[in-house]
Structure 1
Amino acid sequence: MALLHEATISPRKDELVTPWLRTRPWWDGSDERGPAGSFRLDDPRGTVGMECFLLGSASGSTLFVPLTYRDTSLAGSDASLLGTMEHSVLGTRYVYDACADPVFVATVLDTIRSGGRQAELTVRRSDGTEVERPPDATASGEGVADVPRHDPLRPVSAVDGPDRTTVTAAGVALTVVRRLGEAPPGPALTGRLAGGSRYRLVVVTG
């Protein structure tokens, strides 16, 4: 379960993501872009937030942008830091490209291996009551038992290409499809938008 808080955030997530996108080699050049859907994944330790955005455009591609939120900086990952934001409940949050975050990599591998799904969303209101929030996108792993595990304390390496990011970790390689569409073969995390479109988002390729 992902616990969300009614809160104010400054700067807003889109204010961090939009300028960062323009620096990526996989950006398609379209500034007219909006959220097509998003989902969250669970950190078993409950310390790192993971939110995965699918950003659509009438004239360009649908982009896959997973982020992680941390309360302290991730050592050795300054190049993958989008910036910081102030959360009225949680305080300072460091926002990273999730492809360079070992907790995200470990969680995706676990989800693919186990056939898991996205986190259920619960919103804690300012008065302390909690309500469930239905997702506007879902994700599921294929359930492939021999997919390797990754230690979330061990660093990973992420290299951007023109339409995808290649992630290497100890004994495993992942392809994160950035411009959604064609994807390589292999065990995958698949996303589905509320309208029914399905995309292979992250594929174990080595």
Structure 2
Amino acid sequence: MAVIHRTTLTPTKLELLATWLPAQPWYRSTGQQPELDRTGGFRLDDPKGEVGIEFMVVTDISGAQPATYQVLFSYRDAPLAGADDALIGTTEHGVLGHRWVYDGAHDPVVVAQLFALLAGEAEPQMQSTSDTPDPSVTARLDASGITAELASFTTAHSPDGTEILVTTASGRRGLALHLNRVLQPGQNAGSQALGHVTAPAPLPDGTPAPTEFVVVHAHP
């Protein structure tokens, strides 16, 4: 299980995101410097205990209306080969030292654990408490014969969010994992979805509401 350290990060996660977020195709520009608040999220454990995995909810209040985003963090103690374009930044952790922070949608450990969550083989954890399951996060995958083992994946970004195309080791079946980067509390993908990950995100008044973070569809 991941251990949550009560310590400092320099720069902080929000400081890293203030530079990184506006460069993303799904960011809703306000014409102002982002003003970010952390408003939710959860974690997953890396079975090997090497990579930190966090699904963070951040709300930008710099515009006329707040916009809430999902950021999938990967924390590593060394650079991830071939992932320079996915680097959010580096930071100094008060206990663990220098950390490389990536967009987890490009990290094979993170994608594998996300798929394990969908397949019912990983348990969501509280964002800020060690070794504590988070019952507010739910996941399902309505696909028979699917195991959590992945053969390969590719990631692409667009103004609509992030699409992770995965090929499973069982039957080589292809699935599309769509990450809703701009979160819409109460959003429902409808009956065409094969699965989803749902977790709380804030309504405009700050009240948490069930929100689809990930939606799964079949992919040829």
TM > 0.5: yes
The TM-score normalised by the length of structure 2 is 0.78
The structure whose RCO (Cα within 8 Å, separation 6+) is larger is 1
Residue 48 of structure 2 aligns to which amino acid in structure 1?
R
Structure 1 residue 200 corresponds to structure 2 residue 195: no
Q: What residue is the counterpart of 1:40 in the other structure?
A: 43
Structure 1 counterpart of 2:45, which letter? D
2:27 corresponds to:
27
Task: Map 1:94-133; keep pairs closer than 5 Å.
Answer: 94-114=100-120, 116-120=122-126, 121-122=128-129
Per the alignment, in what secondary structure is the counterpart of residue 73 of structure 1? coil
- Cα distance between partner residues in 1 of 2:215 and 2:50: 25
Aligned to 1:188: 196
Query: Is it true that 1:162 corresponds to 2:170 in the alignment?
Result: no
Q: Separation in 1 of the partners of 2:194 and 2:152?
A: 23
Summarize deviations over 1:171-191 as a string: whole Å, max 9, x none.
Answer: 432111111135642311111
**Mapped partners of 1:85, 1:112: distance in 2:** 30
Correspondence list, 1:81-92, <5 A: 81-92=87-98
TM-score by length of 1: 0.82
Higher mean C-alpha deviation, range 18-27 or range 155-164: 155-164
**Matching residue within 71, 80, 89 for 2:86:** 80
Alpha-carbon distance between aligned partners in 2 of 1:33 and 1:87, rounded to the nearest angstrom: 20
* Amino acid in structure 2 at the alignment position of 1:161: S
1:158–1:165 contact (8 Å) kept in structure 2: yes
Q: Which runs of 5+ in 2 are unaligned?
A: 168-173
Aligned length: 195
- 1:55–1:65: 8 Å Cα contact kept in structure 2? yes
Which residue, 28, 48, 53 being the options, matches 1:50?
53
Other structure's SS at 1:114 match: coil
The answer for unaligned runs of 5 or more in structure 1 is 124-131
For residue 72 of structure 1, report the CA deviation from its aligned partner: 1.2
Deviation at 1:67, TM superposition (A): 0.4
RMSD: 2.6
> Does residue 2 of the first structure (1) align with residue 2 of the second (2)?
yes
The answer on whether the counterparts of 2:125 and 2:132 sit within 8 Å (CA) in structure 1 is no
SS in 1 for 2:109: helix
SS in structure 1 opposite 2:119? helix
SS of residue matched to 2:115: helix
Assess if the C-alpha contact under 8 Å between 2:68 and 2:182 holds in 1. Answer: yes
Q: Distance in 2 between matches of 1:145 and 1:117?
A: 19
Of 6-15 and 187-196, more deviation after overlay is shown by 187-196
AA matched with 1:15: E
Quote the Cα distance in structure 1 between the aligned partners of 2:132 and 2:139.
21
Over 3 Å counting, the alpha-carbon distance change for 1:104 and 1:143 in structure 2 is same
- Percent of paired sites with the same residue: 33
